[in-house]
Structures are given as C-alpha cells and as structure tokens.
Amino acid sequence: MKEIKLSGLEEILYQETLHNGLEIYLLPYENKKNYYITYATKYGSDVLSFVTEEKEEYTPPLGIAHYLEHKMFEEPSGEDPFTFFSYSGSDGNAATSYDNTQYTCSGTKAFKENLKYLIEFVNNPYFTDENVEKEKGIIAEEIKMYQDLPDYQLEMKLRENLYWNSPRKYDVAGTIREIRRIKKEDLYQCYHGFYIPNNMFLLITGNFDKEEAMKIVKETLEEKKSKPLPKILKLREKKEVVKEEETIYQNIEIPKVGVGIKVPKDCIEKEKVETHLYLNMLTTILFGASSEFRERVREDQILNDIYMEWEEEESYHTFYLFATSTSPDQLLSEIEYELSHISITSKAFERVKKVWIATEIKMMDIPEKAESNLFEDIINYGMVVEDRIDLIRKMNVKEMEKIIKKLDLSNRSTIKMLEKRSKKKRNYDS
Amino acid sequence: MQYTKKDLGSFNLHIIETNEFKTITMRIVFHSPIKKEEITKRIVLSDLLLQSTKKYSSKRNMIMEAEDLYAAEVYNHTQRIGNYMMTSFILQVLNDSYTEKGNFEKAVEFMRDILYDPDIKNNSFKEDKLAIVKKNCEGNISSIKEDPQEYAIIRSKEAYDKDNPIAYRMVGYKEDLEKITVKNLVESYEKMIEDDFVDIYVVGKIEKEEILRIIKKYFKFRKIKKKKMPYEVENKPCRKRRLMAKEIIEATQSKLAICCPVGKLKKEEMNYPLVLGNILLGGGVDSKLFQEVREKNSLCYTIYSGYSKLDQMIYITAGIDRENYEKTLTLITNILEKMKRGKFSDKDIKIAKEFYQTSIESIEENPMNLIREYITQEITGIEPYQERGKRMAKVTKREIIKAMKKVNMDTVFLLEGNEDERD
C-alpha cells in the first residue's frame, strides 16, 4: 500500500491498485466510531450510446444508469441489502449522477461482514422481468417528485438551452416514458459493460482497520477479470448555446433566474486541478458571499437567494448560477455587468485562499465529509489531490489575470422563471 | 470527552471538552414560551442582528471579518421545540492550533458584538437593513408551497388543530411581518436579551478554565430567570372519526401527510418503546411502511414516519400518485393496525434496536450532534445517551405493542397534484 500524506493535514491516505485495475483508497481515523464505505463505478448517465462486445452500436433508454442502481438491490434470496445492513444497525444507500454510480454502507459495527456484502451484492446482479417491472412505479414517483420542484425545473430548462447533444441536457433519472421501455437485457448490457474492475474503485474512511479491509478486498475482488471498456459514442457539442434567452412561467411566488456559461476547455492551458481552482476563485470573487456584487444586490433588495457551481463535461467547463429575485431583469443585468467588468483585487484573492484552506482542514474533521471530498477527487482527477492546500497557497493574482484574458465567457444562456399569474395578466393586457 | 455544566446565574454554560475535532463550536441558545404572533418578529430580529452591528456597518463587513478569522462560520436559526421558541446563534471556527493564538477568543468577541452591540441608534434599528430582512422573510413566507412535502406536513398539522403550537408556521406570517418596525423590534431585542432563558454550549479542544474565562468576559445577562413551563405540547384527544382534509396544488405528484397524536403514556414509554415502535413503523428503508408501500406495492418513492416526543405526535408522509390515494391510505392503516396487534418479529425489533444504537454512537461524530444531544438532555431531562442505549436494549415486544396502541391516525391530509405526468 502506498502511503499518501495529505498536505497541511494530519491524516494519511493509503492507496493501492489491484492487478485488474481496481483502485482502493483507505483513510482510517483514530477515535471515530463510524466507517463509510463507497464502492463505485465511473459510469453514470453521461453514457448515452456505446459499442457492445458484439460490436453493435447500442443506445439504451434514458435513465438506464439510475435504473440499474435501483435494481442492484435485488437478490436471488429475496432479502435485500438494506435488510442485511440493518442487522448491524448500518445504513446502505446508493446514488447515480452524470459520471458515476456509487453504493455506500456506513455503520459502527460488523465492518468486515458489511464490506464483503457490499462488494458482493454490487458484483452480482440479479434481474428478472418481474423485479425490473416492479421498479417502474417507484422511479416514476421519484421523477415526479423532482419535476414538481421549481428549482429543478429551472435547472433542467437551462441545461436544455445550453446543450445540443451533451448528455448533460438530460435528467440523470431519464423520463417516465423512457424508463417504461427498460428491460432486464438493457440492464445486463450496461452492467457488463461498465461494472468492471478497471472502471471501479473502493473508498473507505473512518473507523476501520486498514489491513483487515485490504484482506477482504483482495479476497473478494482480486479474481475479478478486467476487460476493455466499451467504446462510448459521443456527439460533438457546439460552442454556441441552443437558446440565449427564455422566459418560462410557473406556479411560484418569487421569480427565479438561471445563467449558464459554456467555457471551451481549450482556452485554458492549466492542469485540471488548478483550472478548477482558478475558475472557482474567479466566480467566488465575483459572486461569493463577501463580493461587492452581493453587497450591492443585497442593499438594492434584489436578491433573495443565490447558488452557483461549475460543472465539467466532455469539452466545456460550464458555470451555473441560480438566484431568486423579485427583480429578475435588474439582477440579470447586474450579473451581466460583473461578467463584463471583471476586476480582481489581491486582498479579495488572499481572503478567499484563507477561507479555502480553513475549509479543507474543517472538512477532515468529519469522515463523512472527507469521504465525499476524496470521492469527488477520484471522479474528477482519477486520483486524490494530496497537495491541494499547497496548490491553494501557490495561487496568485497574476496567474488569475492571465487566465481571465483568455477566458471565453461569451456562450451564455439565461432563463427567467416568472409567476404564472403574471403571464395571465400579460395576455389580458395584450 | 468530558461534559461540565456550570450555572452562571443568568445562564448555563455547557462545556464539552474533546480532542476529536479541529474546530470549536459554540451555540448560544435563547428560548422562551412560543407565541404565534412573536414568531415572525423573532425571525426578522435574529436575521437583522447578522446584517450589521455598531462596529460592522454592513453584512459584507461582517462576512469579511468572519473570513479573516479563518473562515469562522456564523449563522442563526429559529425553531420551535415543543411549547418553546428557540433561537440559536452558532459559531464554528478552527481551534487555535490551526490558526493563531487568540483566534478563538476574537471569534467569541465577534459573537458578543453581534448580540450586545446591535446597530441601534436613537432607539431604532436601521430602516434600510430592516427592509432587506423583511423582503427575504416575505419571500420565504410566500414560497412555502415550493417544498410540497414540507407544506403538506404543515397543512396536516393546521387541519389537526390550528391553535396548537405544533401548527405554527416557523417561516413566519405575512400579517405579522407588516407590523414590524425599526422601533418595536428594539423592544423585541431587549426582551430576548433580558427575558429569554439562555444556554451556551461549547464543544472542542479547549480547556474548561479557559472557556469559562472567555465566556465570563464577554457574556453577561442580567436577570436570574424563573422556573420554566413544560416543553411538551398538550394535544387534544384523538378524534373518534378521522378528519380528512385536502388541498389541490399544481403538481404532478400528490403528498399524503398524516398526524397521529400519541395518547397518554408514561415518560419512560415515550422515551423508549415508542421510539422503537416508530423506527419499526417508518424509520428507515427496513421499516414496515417502506417495505410494504414502496417495495412490495411500488406506490411511492418516499415514505417515512417521524416521532416528536415534545409534540407527542407521530407524523407519516408519502409522495404518491393521486390515483393511488385510497389504496395507499388503506395500506398504511393496516400496517399501523398490524403493529398494534403485534404482527412484527423479534428480528424486526432487533433491527430497530441496532438502528437506535448506531444513532447513539454517531452522536460523538459531529460537534453539532453533540450539542443537540445536550440540549435535549437539558430540556427534557432524559438520561444521557450512554445510558439510553442500555435501557433501549431491554425494551420488550409487549412494551412496544402497548405504546403503539396509543398511536392513532387523527388527521389525513392530501395535497393533491392536479397535473398529468410529463414525459
């Protein structure tokens, strides 16, 4: 096992890659009671089409990765993994996103048994016509639950308006019409394509013995054969957005706005980790809690709520900003103004660095948070960033300015969500 | 880990010394008997205190100060705890070994500025700051339906008994918001500082004497407060016939919310067998509700039950298709009835007990959980969590049945989505 000292932190991470390509990351804590196990595949709803082992192009129904995650919990014995984990008061769960599917177990007892069980249930799918059919009602209700949330509708509409072909324009769960077409053969096809050791990893944090964990992992996983990952078929995504502006009407009280910016990757020459740091730095300084922008819109009383994030897809870094505002037009023009008058002061820059470093340290306090932090690293960079604190310390305004000069922020889409009754009124007026 | 409680006359200081965390967390808790017409005022007041102080003229200045204290997090929270309204001001900051000596004390001083040096001049708060807070509060009040699940639960409580504190809306009320002025808010502020019961909780790697010194230096409350009224809410007896209520909403999914008041039980029964009964009923993915309604009948994605000891109530909620309303309700009714007849196995009980033990063991994992635990002990007088684990292990099936027999469905509320599903 390789020992990795995480910079600026006291914890040591252990890493090993098995012969079949499966990666293992272990971060044991002393004096904690809970352990957190994540067994994951780097397969999510980003895969729309691929070439099967029979050399055929194959496009499963949308939402297949998420459906597959739900169905992994079927066992021939009829006893599901939730029940197995609950014997020891442990908690099993799973989640699917664009670029991964993860299966987790956390608890304070029965570490060995639960680890072994988690690996084995994910390694052994059991799909029947009946059990596949049964899930349709459950997932349809899951989809409907999200569809009823205005924030979710806003985000999905913005994604549709940003992307022509990218899988990021679809909901991870797919649509009710699409999931109704799913058959067990589809699930097996995707499972055998992407649930292979060289596309998977195991991550454990918290209270456990690393030697014991390694022993179980080797016993259960070393025999698994690696095989080539299927060729994923991707469509080219145009630089331009699909729609630059749109207004939609919903049953809401306070209007909402969304801004999406597709930034072509080739305009930034930095390493991936640093690119992410600098892009985040830029938008934190522009729109973060202590930005001048926030003070201005607060004093003008045109901001109720704001949320932003960066997302990386195949060819673009995409920035998303969502806000709630009683004056959506004014807020959008304020955002527009910030984006066209970027200025970075070294004071603000250094303050954000200080905050980030403190946040990194705080994160390690709670194994559950450390787990999700490491998970993001493995998915984004294929490794754990061991010197992030050093990288943050090294960041400087000059580099930031160089990046800003080359940054193409011109491919934007904005969306307004207004109260339904305002539409009625408008119709009446006209 | 070591817990010490100090009675400092006008407030209690609770110190939880532990080496487990890199942070120090401090929570200052104000509580007073809840009055419906004061909820909105309190929400606005506590938000306003975080907008500016005498020393920091704007929210931005305050945030920058907190950031300079190595990303100290400062926030507030107003909630209802049984019969009480509880406002907390929370500080979380890295301990001095990760920052510089004196950083924690500076952060405490910052909290002091917020609470004792508010932006009051000529007996009024600032109009412009109040306008910001009011507008945000108004937004939260009016967008309450945007979280249909939460909204359904609130509506079910209102249908059950609108005058009961459990039915109060903790986002506030529009009619009360309109009455708030820069002047009358000063009175509310003084009342909070003077009359509320105060507890200060501190968790982290710091010596008891040092904490005591710092807290005594910065916090002084004048009054010694009288004995408190009970925290437990008194509920009306369960209706003979179920109350069925409904509201139509523009949504594809419908939400079902059910209030089940708990009849007369001893404290011991409320604290142990009923807790297990609720875990069995709808506490998690292995519960009867989840297994029957979701896994066997595919009727929903979410379904769970929650038990509030102080409200003496079990709440059940599910997201369903309106066409399946009757079917789901019948299923839930049968599941509850079966539990009262003891139709659950020893294995089920064992699982529920394990579930409880894990939650007990997880308390020490997170500073906020630890504080929440000591708040619960303080207001309910319940045994410490280490002791609770032992007691829970001894609960029998008969005790669970006896407790569950006191749980009855009183109010069934359907928030009916009237839209067809989208493709």
Averaged pLDDT for residues B3-16? 93
Nearest CB among B250, B321, B351 relative to A86 is that of B351
CB contact under 8 A, B354 and A89: yes
Going from the C-alpha of B145 to that of each of A317, B139, B150, B304, the distances in angstroms are 34, 11, 8, 20
What's the pLDDT at B39? 98
A 283-342 residues with CB below 8 A of B? 289-290, 292, 294-295, 298-299, 301, 304-305, 324, 326
pLDDT in tens, B328-352: 999 999 999 999 999 999 999 999 9
Chain A positions touching B350 (Cβ under 8 A) are 87
pLDDT in tens, B120-170: 999 999 999 999 999 999 999 999 999 999 999 999 999 999 999 999 999
Residue B421 has pLDDT above 60, yes or no: yes
Which residue ranges form the domains of chain B, and what is each CATH number?
A: 2-218 (3.30.830.10), 243-417 (3.30.830.10)
CB contact under 8 A, A289 and B63: yes
Q: Work out the pLDDT band at A319, boundaries 50, 70, 90.
A: very high
pLDDT in tens, B362-379: 999 999 999 999 999 999
The SS3 of residue B146 is: helix
Of B401, B412, B149, nearest to B280 by C-alpha is B401
pLDDT in tens, B17-26: 999 999 999 9
What's the pLDDT at A421? 76
CB contact under 8 A, A176 and B295: no
Of A96, A37, A76, nearest to A367 by C-alpha is A37
pTM above 0.90? yes
What's the pLDDT at A71? 97
Question: Of all residues in chain B, what percent carry a pLDDT higher than 90?
Answer: 91
Nearest CB among A139, A354, A365 relative to B23 is that of A365
Q: Work out the pLDDT band at A430, boundaries 50, 70, 90.
A: very low
Residue A106 has pLDDT above 90, yes or no: yes
Nearest CB among A143, A144, A361 relative to B94 is that of A361
Residue B100 has pLDDT above 80, yes or no: yes
- Could you tell me the fold of the domain covering A245-429? Cytochrome Bc1 Complex; Chain A, domain 1 (3.30.830)
CB contact under 8 A, B59 and A324: no
What's the pLDDT at B373? 97
Q: Work out the pLDDT band at B409, boundaries 50, 70, 90.
A: very high
- Residues A173/A139, Cβ–Cβ less than 8 Å: yes
Residue B290 has pLDDT above 80, yes or no: yes
Least confident among B24-28, B274-278, B419-423: B419-423
What's the pLDDT at B227? 60
Q: Which chain B residue is nearest to residue A136, measuring alpha carbons?
A: B298
Chain A positions touching B299 (Cβ under 8 A) are 137, 141
Q: Which ipTM did the prediction report?
A: 0.91
Q: Work out the pLDDT band at A10, boundaries 50, 70, 90.
A: confident
What's the pLDDT at B226? 64
What's the pLDDT at B246? 96
Does A7 reach chain B within 8 Å, measured CB to CB?
no
Class of domain A2-233 (CATH, top level) = alpha beta
What's the pLDDT at A428? 44
Does A95 reach chain B within 8 Å, measured CB to CB?
no
CB contact under 8 A, B365 and A294: no
What's the pLDDT at A429? 41
CB contact under 8 A, B146 and A150: yes
A 401-420 residues with CB below 8 A of B? 420
Strands A35-41 and A101-107: antiparallel
Closest Cα of chain A to B140: distance in Å? 9
DSSP assignment, residue B407?
B
What average pLDDT does the structure give for chain A? 95
Averaged pLDDT for residues A181-198? 98
Work out the number of other CB atoms within 10 angstroms of the CB of residue A313: 19
pLDDT in tens, A360-401: 999 998 899 999 999 999 999 999 999 999 999 999 999 999
The question of whether A74 is a catalytic residue gets the answer: no
Chain B positions touching A331 (Cβ under 8 A) are none
pLDDT in tens, B219-245: 987 776 666 788 999 999 899 999 999
Residue A92 has pLDDT above 80, yes or no: yes
Residue A427 has pLDDT above 80, yes or no: no
Question: Of all residues in chain A, what percent carry a pLDDT higher than 70?
Answer: 98
The SS3 of residue B271 is: helix
Counting every residue, how long is chain B?
A: 423
- The residue extents of the domains of chain A are 2-233, 245-429
Nearest CB among B128, B285, B357 relative to A82 is that of B285
Least confident among A320-324, B380-384, B403-407: B380-384
Query: Rounded to an integer, what distance in angstroms lies between the CA atom of residue B194 and that of residue B169?
Result: 25
